[in-house]
Structure 1
Amino acid sequence: MARLRASQSREQREAACETTRLAMQNRRANNRGQQIDNLQRRTRYLSSADLNRAAFQYDCSNDYSLHPSVCIGQMDVVCEYCGALQFSGETPGLCCLNGKVKLPLLTPPPEPLYSLLCGETQESRHFVANTQKYNGCFQMTSFGADIIEERGFNPTFKIQGQIHHRIGSLLPFEDTQNNFLQIYFMGNMEEQLDRRLEINAGMKQAILQDLECLLHEHHALVRLFKIALERMPSDAKTISI
């Protein structure tokens, strides 16, 4: 090949390169056309395929998201009666029975919760992105699960029997830390805040402190717990509710 190229003139070499380039371009175009044709065939198949028990015959080359039973579009249809957002395939008026069901407007939550939920500040955006974690900081009961398996990013709970929530004793037992409802019975709000931050890493202290004050001011159960603590004998360690 080297001797052949050396014997060719400049025009011959350029013509040979152009021929090779056109051949590669045609080959790529044919491959692209075949890929598009295969995709169209798979799309036509999926649009009419029966997905019943399809998981037992799963084909990774098929894009199941193209099936009309799976691709339901965006929730961008607005109900003319109540303003609820619906998918295009939903029955019109299903949300409010064509205006027959009228729900009262929700009462805005007290501050600072309202600003955290509806504000545009950095604190608000952080809170909205972590509402589940902040909710867990103030949970009063245990889920009753003792075995947790870490598999990647998703912890797995193994629970036997009926699911229930345990309240437990109002005060911790000897050589144990305050958890769940017991945190509400600690000496002062500063100790409660420190304990919540110790259990829940990554939460912002200022937000936790504001939510803690909110619960102590507006939550009926928290106020009831404070009354129970004042009436509790100092040597009672196993009182349960």
Structure 2
Amino acid sequence: METVRQRQQRRQSDAAAHRQRYTNNPQLHKFTLKFSEDTDVGNYFASHRIDVTNSTICNHCNALKLPTESPGMCCSNGKVVLMEPTIPPLLQHLFTSQDDIAKDFHDKIRFYNSAFTFASVGVRFDRELANAKNGIYTFRVQGSFYHRIGLLLPEAGSNPHYLQMYIYDTQHELHHRTNTIPNSNLNPAIVEDIKAILDEVNPYSINFRYISNFPEEDIKNLSMLIHTNIPGLDQRTHNVPTAPQVAAIWINNNVPPGAIQKRDILLRTRMNQLIHISEFSG
């Protein structure tokens, strides 16, 4: 039986061997498809036709289904009703128009999307494959993939990022968003339009805007004192905390066993890094 440590060592060894093979074989870096203007791309890809002559339409949601698909797979025979959201006219204009503003939005749509993200991506990826200098850019992920939310307010002397821009220094938000991505040359008018759209229809943006409206004098630092010098209290059971701060207290009264899932607890180190700790850490 392979132990956890042995499995980790084997995986690390396999990953190192894979990187070594990739590095030692420069031919792998050149496997890209190049087509001239008169190349018939259809000769390089196999076509596959799907017969939809016998397809059916759901009586409840009007979904078009293939003959092999079951009757209730789309909406469970009307039990699932998805409300179609109303597209804001301004957003629809950015996607469908062909004017200069919309064309700039189309060309830099990933940059505009990144300028309004709420969280960063936490992932372990292969940096050698994710390199546009050698062959095709490939984003290869190994392990967990998650979104990471940091502090609600930026560190002293730092510019706001991610959800911090929805809360902190909103008077200069337009400047922060247009300059958050170097050399992106985002159009301030488009950034202002997207901000207005999100503030109108996005529940996360609306809630964070609500937090930003709290006056600073209403947000106070609170401290908690735990007194253990009570006569008759067993000091071997209740001791003074070793840390001067209490982050959170969980009360699991009347909760059946197995109903509580493993908690995801993050700590921010003095080096401004986030690390996971066990819920049993004292």
Calculate the TM-score normalised by the size of structure 1.
Answer: 0.52
**2:166 alignment counterpart:** 184
- Select which of 175, 189, 193 maps to 1:194: 175
Q: 1-side partners of 2:119 and 2:197: how far apart?
A: 19
**1:217 alignment counterpart:** 200
- State the Cα distance separating 1:130 from its structure 2 match: 3.5
Partner AA of 2:117 in structure 1: Q
What secondary structure does 1:171 align onto?
coil
What secondary structure does 2:164 align onto?
helix
CA change 1:113–1:187 in 2 (3 A) is: same
CA change 1:234–1:76 in 2 (3 A) is: farther
The reply to whether residue 203 of structure 1 matches residue 181 of structure 2 is no
- State the Cα distance separating 1:212 from its structure 2 match: 0.9
Partner AA of 1:184 in structure 2: Y
- Select which of 105, 109, 114 maps to 1:127: 105
The reply to whether residue 142 of structure 1 matches residue 120 of structure 2 is yes
Q: % of aligned pairs identical?
A: 20
Checking the alignment, whether the CA contact within 8 Å between 1:93 and 1:99 is kept in structure 2 is no
- Structure 2 residues not aligned, in runs of 5+: 1-32, 34-39, 223-246, 248-265, 267-282
What secondary structure does 2:95 align onto?
helix
**1:116 alignment counterpart:** 94
What secondary structure does 1:192 align onto?
helix
What secondary structure does 2:146 align onto?
coil
- State the Cα distance separating 1:192 from its structure 2 match: 1.3
Q: 1-side partners of 2:74 and 2:167: how far apart?
A: 47
CA change 1:64–1:123 in 2 (3 A) is: closer
- State the Cα distance separating 1:197 from its structure 2 match: 1.2
Q: 2-side partners of 1:183 and 1:115: how far apart?
A: 25
Partner AA of 2:210 in structure 1: I
Calculate the TM-score normalised by the size of structure 2.
Answer: 0.45
Q: 1-side partners of 2:145 and 2:188: how far apart?
A: 32
**1:151 alignment counterpart:** 132
CA change 1:99–1:170 in 2 (3 A) is: closer
What secondary structure does 1:162 align onto?
strand
What secondary structure does 1:163 align onto?
strand
- Structure 1 residues not aligned, in runs of 5+: 1-59, 85-89
- State the Cα distance separating 1:104 from its structure 2 match: 6.1
Partner AA of 2:169 in structure 1: G
What's the CA shift string for 1:165-214, capped at 9, x where partnerless? 1111100112322111111123234x111111112313222111111122
Q: 1-side partners of 2:52 and 2:111: how far apart?
A: 29
The reply to whether residue 72 of structure 1 matches residue 53 of structure 2 is no
**1:167 alignment counterpart:** 149
* Structure 1 vs Structure 2 CA RMSD: 4.6
**2:271 alignment counterpart:** none
What's the CA shift string for 1:53-104, capped at 9, x where partnerless? xxxxxxx9xx997588x32369999x674586xxxxx945859879987876
Checking the alignment, whether the CA contact within 8 Å between 1:116 and 1:123 is kept in structure 2 is yes
